[in-house]
Each structure stands twice: as structure tokens, then as C-alpha cells.
Structure 1
């Protein structure tokens, strides 16, 4: 039967439809399960399980901080009191003891520190993932990487600077003389250096250069080591 339909097909689209119908019929005859549309290309969640667990812990810790803060402010509703008792379960802390306010503050601070540590772990994971993806994209498609690094709110925002203003700005920095006041410390340095004998000027002639021997890397290293030892470096 399939040969008859294929011989009667007139174009590639009709042939493709015939083959698809035949494959669908075979699937139904053998009782195989057909894949749903889009299921084959659907990717799993990119969020790891440990991150979901940490996010759940952060959400629960924030909710508990809210209940503890509400109880510390004077809210004694049954639900709040029950949550506070569960927070101190397994300890010798009672809600009727005099220093319960201090214990509540310590518990709240402890939860805040845990939330900060969990959040820092997630931020380290996000930063590492971002660097890994950028390095992999740099090896495969550098143009796409540089495109992703652009900041649209900065790049090309507003008109460019005026040429006359730019020239006037840099000309004011480099072309116009300015008298600077160095302060009294320059006079102190000058008085301290007055007794220093200036070095005689050294004139290097072409003959001196021609007579000089080439210096090896080992000699340069020894001279640098000797000079640094003189200055105590």
C-alpha cells in the first residue's frame, strides 16, 4: 500500500506527509508511546538542586525572622507564639524568662548571618557560572561575547561631545602655562640638598660606544643585583 501512495506522490512535501502517516500508523499498531510536541527539545532546569534548597532555607529563615521580630514587638497571637516556641525547641529557653528579648535578638542575628552566608554562596556560584560561560563564549563566538558585554544604557546614549569644547578643554590642560605653588616643603628639600655635590656631566661619544663590549644577560643580572643591594632593596 505504501508503494502505491509513493508512486502517486507528485512533490517532496506530499512524500513527506505519506512517510509521516506511515510512521504514525506503525507507532499505533505496535502500541508505542508518541513523544509529545516540544518534549524532545525541552531542556531541564538550569538551576541546581542545592541552590533550590538554599533558596528554600533563605525563605524560611526570613519568615522566621519576621515572626520573631513581631513577637519581640509585643505580638502574642497564637500562631506567632507557636512559631517562636518551635524556633527555641530543643533549648532551655522559655518565653517567660526575663532575658527573652535578648535571646530573641541573638536568634534573629544568627538567622541573618546564615542568610548572608547562604546568599554569598549563591553569588559565588553565579559569578563562577558567568565567568565560565564568558570563557566558553570567547572560544566559540567572540563577537557574541562582546555584544553581550555592551551596556546599552551607556553606549550611544545622547549626542557626542562638541569638537570645539573638546579642543578647548585639552588646550587648557596642555597649552596654557600654569603657575603651581608647591608649598613650604619644597624649600625644606632644597635646603637639605644644598650640600650635595652635583655629579659631573657624562658625555658619551661614538668612540666610547664602539669600544664597549656587548653585555650578556648574566652580567646585567649581576649589575642589577649589586645595585639593589647598595640601596637595600
Structure 2
């Protein structure tokens, strides 16, 4: 029944307190002390250290599942509170008679916020308001993203608990909406008879999908993908569920029930702007690994930069090419005062290194796949290996040219007579080298070779 003690905040003060309490504890512990008394002494030691360290001890004897605020939430809310405090100080400083402490704090804020060039107090105040708006938007986006992540994780663990929590959330929202005072528009809409109301988009989509797939063989219907769960999908799901409740009656045949549930799922996907494939079977599409996509994207980016720099070195580059090349030259400043040619050469070396890295990754991945396949089934491993060798041999057989093709290829290169240009510089070269003595021919005889090379 003793209160649960929190973790000690360890600092220099706590260290000295702990040393003093340990000395007191040593004098209290004797040989043959009962275990209950020993536990009581150790508990009293920990409680005394916490009290002297000015830490609160809760009176609860049980651990409560208190939701832990994420670090990103605390970080952003602290920034928002800081910006709000600065806005309040600057607004108060613009009043008629601000106090000296407010003026001093406002001066410190104005000196700190120097992101603009010679800003006024009004400009800094407006900048802080925009910053506050951006941080609030960022916090809202983080919350929605975290909620989606939690829902997806809960759905993958247990669909039953997911839908149960979803119903409780919907019930809480409905309770809040019931307690709210209705608006005149809502009262006006509520007064319209049900028969005179136009059908909603969800009702129309549900009817369209139901007419399309009702009576079709379940094995011939397209396979539906997993829903991308977000706030929009949640509201669509609520509307479609209400429509489905009105369609299901007691004693409905299992085929009609399956058709209604399928139409519900297809309608939710369509309204959530997700594509439904027309294929009825799942295809084993090879998924490109993340490392392959990452390296190929880098290679494409480097090739694009090389192309822009090469085009910029032409005679008449366009203004857009010059602008892009300037941005690349400013970005690639790994060398000291590099020229455009040096940066271009550096990018080419970088491209060569990335291509080598991709090739090494592919070979490593192939080895890993082969080892994994060999450990699972040697028979399938050797079977696939033979099929790969057969494919390589087939490709090599198809690549070997015929004698006729070889003759035709080399005839087009060497069979035609070439007329060289007789320009001025060729005549000058011949004239400048005409007085050079021609090297005499060297005759290598068999006897002289035997004299120089000893026989083994």
C-alpha cells in the first residue's frame, strides 16, 4: 500500500544527498535484520532522497495508464508558447505607457529577431504572427499524421479492437454534436421531409457500385486494395455504414449480404479516390528495393546536372540552361574555387562511383537471394540456376553475328574509298617534317635472337 516512488532526477545535489543518506542507512542495518525491516529502511532511504531533492511523491499506490505526450508535441507547443509570449510582450510594448520591464524584454526580442533587413517593431510582430500560424498548422498536421499512424498500427494488430475504438470515437463525436446548439441551417435541413431530400454523393455511389457488381460471381469480382485510412475515409465510412444499415434486413440471403458488403467497400474506395484494379487475380509484381530506387534517383540527378553543364558550355546556351548551370555550380562547392570544367569532371567521377555502387549492391543482393534460396530448397535453387544459365546462353547465341553480317558490317567501314581533305595545315606539317631523316629498317634474324636469348 506504499506510494510508488518516481525515478530520481540525478544531479550534483542528489549525489551529495545520496551520500549522506547512505551513511545513515549503514548505521541502521545490522546482522540478522528481518527482510521486512530491511525493505522498510531501503524504501525510507529512497523517499528521503526524493523529498530532499524536492521531487513530489504521488499518493497513488497503483500505476495509471497516463498517455505520454510525444516529444514532437512538447517541442512544438513550447515553441508556440514562446512565440505567443513574445507577441504579447511586443503588443504590450506598443501601448501608451509600457513598463520598464516590458520595454527591456521587447528590446531583447527585437534584437533577437533580425531575420529581415532593418526591420521595424511592426514588421517583427507581423513576422511572429505568421510564424505562430505556421507552427499551429505544423502541430495540426503532426497530430493528424500521428492519428493515422496509430490507426494503421492498431488495424494491422487487431481489426476488432480498431473498429471498437472507432465506434467509441464516433459515439463521442455524436454526443458532442448532440450537446451543441443546432444552427439555423441545420434546423432548416432537419425540417425537410426525408422523402424530399436529394440523395447524397455516398448514396449515389453506393447504388452505382451495387448495380455494377450485384449478381456477379464473387470469384470474378475485382480484388479491392487496402483502404488508405484518414479523416476523409473515416467520414465516408460513417456515411456508407448508415446506408448499409438501412439495406440489411432480417433473413437476407448470404449472397445478397456479401454483395452489399462488397459494394460498401468499393464505394468507400471510389469516394476516397483510390483505384480499383480490374484484374481478378493477384500478380506477383517484383518490387524494386528502396536502395535501388534511391541510388537510381541519385544517378538520374547527377546525369541531369552533367547534361545541363555540358549544354551550358556550348556556343549559345539558353537563359534557362545558364540559370540552372549557375545553381549547380553554386551547389557543388566541395573543391576550393572550382571552375566549371573541374565541377563537371567531379560530377562524372561521382556518376562513375554511384554506378559502381549500384552494380555492387545488385551483386550483393543476388548473392543474398541465392544463399536464402539455397538454405530453403537446394532443388529449386539449382533449377533456377540452370534456367538463368540457359537464358544467358540463349542471349549469347542470339548475339553472335553470322559471317554474312560481319562481312556486310566491315565492308561498309573499309570497303568504300575515303577522300581526305587537303587543307593548309597538312601541307605545313609535311613541309616542317620534310628535313627529318627516316629511321632505317631493323632486321631481326634468327641467329641474332638465339645469341641474345639463352636456351633453357
Same structural fold, with TM-score higher than 0.5 when normalized by the shorter chain: no
TM-score (norm 2): 0.24
Comparing both structures, which one devotes a greater share of its residues to helix? 2
Higher normalized contact order (CA 8 Å, seq sep 6+, divided by chain length) = 1
TM-score (norm 1): 0.44
